[in-house]
Amino acid sequence: MDPVQLQTLLTWAAVGLITLGVGGAALIGLREAQNGARRRARLSGALVVDTVGGGSAALAGVVSGVKRLGDRMAIQDPAQLSTIRARLIQAGWFSREAVAVYLGAKAVALLLATVATILTVPWAISGGGGMGAILLAGGFAVAALLGPEQVIKARRRKLELEYMDGFPDLLDLLVASVEAGLSLDAAVSRVGEELSRRYVHLGEHLRFLTLELRAGRSRKEAWSSFAERLAIDDARALATMLRQSEEMGTSLGDTLTVFSEDMRAKRMLRAEEKAMSLPAKLMIPLILFIFPCLMGVLIMPAAFRISQTLMAN
């Protein structure tokens, strides 16, 4: 590849990465500000109303177009809707339109990757692209095929960490509510209201659990569905424990107390594991960044003096 073309490509890639980083940071900041305003309004008891401005209206139009495209894809392949919906619920998207938006986003990503690949064809044919054009087209294809899936997986991992952090608090509040005389269903409703202030998504799952119990679904099926939505081992163990406690007729308060103590012990073990693994994780940045700088600061003055002495002689 010609050095001038390589420099131009690197320049445009750097500009694109900087633009993407600034835009992503601005989008994240705007989303956090909106979530904070909604959370403060919810805690103050005010009615939360979404305001639609010019930018929000344009974004809503884009989402509406993507949703219509996703609806057409869903009609063509209805067999995967339940599986995709379950994965999106585990990732925190509960809307009925989430599946259509996801499928539409995948179609748009493939379309954009196709257009970007076509635009690289003249560069490859002219002989200036070579392997760089092939790699760039392959990068577009991989991003289009795996990008939406990786977004869902990253969202699921983030929520799983939130669920694992909030589950011991959930059990402690359940134990306190049951020991205070509330039934399990009433305790779940009360705990869901309290946890929503800190663990928003976990509180949403508890609210869905409460609605299922009020709708007449059996407690065993409702808790099993709750565990599948969270997709963590602690929730599955809790659902199994409640089913066995109901079948054997054991005390619910004692069972929840033992399980809560086990969850607190697991959380402490996870914290100790992270603390013990910290020195090993610090080894790589210490060797790559801190140690060379330290050696340079210590050795450079002596090397300078030795060089001056040798030159003087």
Note the pLDDT tens digit of each residue in 292-309. 888 888 888 888 888 888
Task: Kindly report each contact of residues 182-189 with a partner whose C-beta sits within 8 Å and lies 24 or more positions away, as own/partner.
Answer: 184/219, 184/242, 184/252, 185/210, 185/213, 185/214, 185/219, 188/213
Give the pLDDT of residue 53: 42
Q: Is the residue at 88 inside a domain?
A: no
Neighbour-count burial of 82, counting CB atoms closer than 10 A to its CB (0-12 exposed, 13-18 middle, 19+ buried): exposed
Q: What is the pTM of this model?
A: 0.60
120-129, 134-143, 225-234: least confidently modelled range: 120-129
Query: What average pLDDT does range 159-171 have in this prediction?
Result: 85
- pLDDT band per the 50, 70, 90 thresholds, residue 151: confident
**Mean pLDDT for the stretch of residues 276-282:** 84
Each residue of 191-225: pLDDT tens digit?
A: 888 888 888 888 888 888 888 888 888 888 888 88
Reply yes or no on whether the pLDDT at 238 is more than 60.
yes
- Average pLDDT estimate for 226-248: 85
Write down how long the chain is. 313
Res. 146 pLDDT band, cuts 50 70 90: confident
Kindly state whether residue 73 falls inside one of the protein's structural domains: no
Report the SS3 class of residue 116.
helix
Query: Is residue 74 pLDDT above 60, yes or no?
Result: no
Q: Using CA atoms, how far apart are residues 47 and 251, in angstroms rounded to an integer?
A: 41
Decide if pLDDT at 176 tops 50. yes
Q: Please indicate, yes or no, if residue 89 is contained in any of the structural domains.
A: no
Half-sphere exposure of 4 (CA within 13 A, CB side): 1
Distance of alpha carbon 183 from alpha carbon 174, whole angstroms: 10
Tokens coding 238: 């809790």
Give the model's confidence band at 31: pLDDT under 50 very low, under 70 low, under 90 confident, else very high. low
Residue 47 pLDDT level (bands cut at 50, 70, 90): very low
Q: Per-residue pLDDT averaged across 281-289, rounded?
A: 83
Number of domains in the chain: 1
Whether residue 248 is contained in a domain is answered as yes
Burial group, residue 66, by CB count within 10 angstroms (0-12, 13-18, 19+): buried
Establish if 259 belongs to a structural domain: yes
Q: How confident is the model at residue 48 (pLDDT cuts 50, 70, 90)?
A: very low
Residue 234 lies in a domain: yes
User: For residues 94 and 221, what is the distance between their CA atoms, to the nearest angstrom?
Assistant: 19
- On the question of pLDDT at 6 being above 70, the answer is no
Give the number of other Cβ atoms within 10 Å of residue 252's Cβ. 19
Contact present, 103 and 84 (Cβ < 8 Å): yes
Written as six digits, the tokens of 247 are: 């079948």
Residue 167 main-chain phi, psi, to 5 deg: -65, -40
> CA 211, CA 237: separation in Å to the nearest integer?
22
Burial 85-116 (b: 16+ CB within 10 A, else e): bebbbbbbbeeeebbbbbbbbbbbbbeebeeb
CB atoms within 10 A of CB 224: 17
Question: Is the pLDDT reported for residue 57 higher than 80?
Answer: no
> Residue 21 domain-assigned?
no
96 occurs within a structural domain: no
Average pLDDT over every residue of 96-103:
75
In which domain, by residue range, is 210 found?
A: 163-268
For residue 171, give Cα distances in angstroms to 133, 135, 156, 157, 236: 55, 51, 22, 21, 13
pLDDT at 114 over 50: yes
